[in-house]
Structure formats: C-alpha cells, structure tokens
Amino acid sequence: MSSYLGIGPRTYFPTIRPTALLVGCIADFAAASLIQGPIAGATWDRAMRADKNSEFWRNNQNQNAVATYGASFISSVVQSYAIAALINLTGTVTYKGAASLGVLVFAATSVPSAASALYYEARPLEYVLIKAAGHIVSTVGLTTVLVAWGTRDIQA
C-alpha cells in the first residue's frame, strides 16, 4: 500500500526537480501572456467579447480574481508536474522528442475540449481557435522548456 504513495521500495510517482515546477509555471504563464497580449491581443479581445455574449456566460456568474488566479496557479503546478513526469517516464532528452511529446499531450487534452466547446457549447470559432493556439504553445512550449531545464531529480 505504501509503495503507491512513493514511500516504499518502488515509486509510482516519479520525483522531479522542484525547480522544474517553478520553471514550468513561469513558462505556462508566459505562454498565456503571449497569446493574450502581443501575439493575438486584438483577436483575443474580439473573441472574448463574442464569447461573453454566448449562452455559456449567460448561465454562469462571474468569479472573483483571487479564485481565478489561484485555480490557474494550481493547475499550472499540476500540469508542470505531469509533463515533467511524462518526460522522465518516456526518457525524453531531445528537443524533437519534447516537441513530439507536447503535440501528443495537446492532441490528448485540448483537441477534445476544443471540439466540445465548438459543437456542444456553441462557442465562437475565433474563441476556440485562439484557445487552441494558446494550448499548443503551452504544451509544446512547456515540454521544450522543461527538457531544456532538466526534470530529473539528481540522486547523490
């Protein structure tokens, strides 16, 4: 039982460098800032205005900024750990391998949610495309940055 928690002789949750979590969070927030700012800022604003008029927002209340940024930070830490663990478990050490892993993570996580947002939630196409661009920059960028930084915990 204790080995499932990483306490016994066999560990199922790989250890990673703690600084990799910090670097991953910074990379994730930088990717979001680039998409929402200089790269596609005006398009992002138009997409958000179009989305705010959609049925999705009529049914939801506004959340406060602390809860939004707190949830964003926690999800960024979890995403950074998960990507770093995948890098360690797959033995990825090259930038090409990192980009391939990032594309696979994007395909597994973001493509289904984009299809759902477009077809079931009836979100505007421009909004879905901007979100997809942000996710691909985030996943491929995060894997590449983490491979460059190094994720393996150095054993003495």
Give the three-class secondary structure for 92: coil
Q: Report yes or no on 9 lying in a domain.
A: no
How many Cβ atoms sit within 10 Å of the Cβ of residue 36? 16
Per the CB < 8 A criterion, the answer to whether 148 and 95 are in contact is: yes
N-terminal to C-terminal alpha carbon distance within the chain: 27
Per the CB < 8 A criterion, the answer to whether 23 and 149 are in contact is: yes
Residue 143 belongs to domain spanning: 23-149
CA distances from 50 to 45, 80, 147 (A): 9, 31, 37
Q: Report yes or no on 54 lying in a domain.
A: yes
How far apart (Å, rounded) are the C-alpha atoms in residues 20 and 91? 16
Instruction: Report the percentage of the chain scoring pLDDT > 90.
Output: 38
Q: Report yes or no on 102 lying in a domain.
A: yes
Q: Report yes or no on 63 lying in a domain.
A: yes
Q: Report yes or no on 60 lying in a domain.
A: yes
How far apart (Å, rounded) are the C-alpha atoms in residues 83 and 139? 8
Q: Report yes or no on 130 lying in a domain.
A: yes
Q: Report yes or no on 155 lying in a domain.
A: no
Question: Taking 50 as the threshold, does the pLDDT of residue 123 lie above it?
Answer: yes
For residue 39, the 8-state DSSP code is I
How far apart (Å, rounded) are the C-alpha atoms in residues 108 and 77? 19
**81 Cβ contact partners less than 8 Å away, ≥ 6 residues apart:** 16, 21, 24
Please tell me the total count of domains within the chain: 1
Give the three-class secondary structure for 152: strand
Taking the whole predicted model, whether its pTM rises above 0.85 is answered as: no
Structure tokens at 85: 């663990």
Tell which residue, 35, 37, 146, 36, has the closest CA to residue 97. 146
Q: Report yes or no on 129 lying in a domain.
A: yes
> Per-residue pLDDT tens for 22-81?
999 998 888 877 776 666 666 666 666 666 655 555 555 555 667 777 888 899 999 999
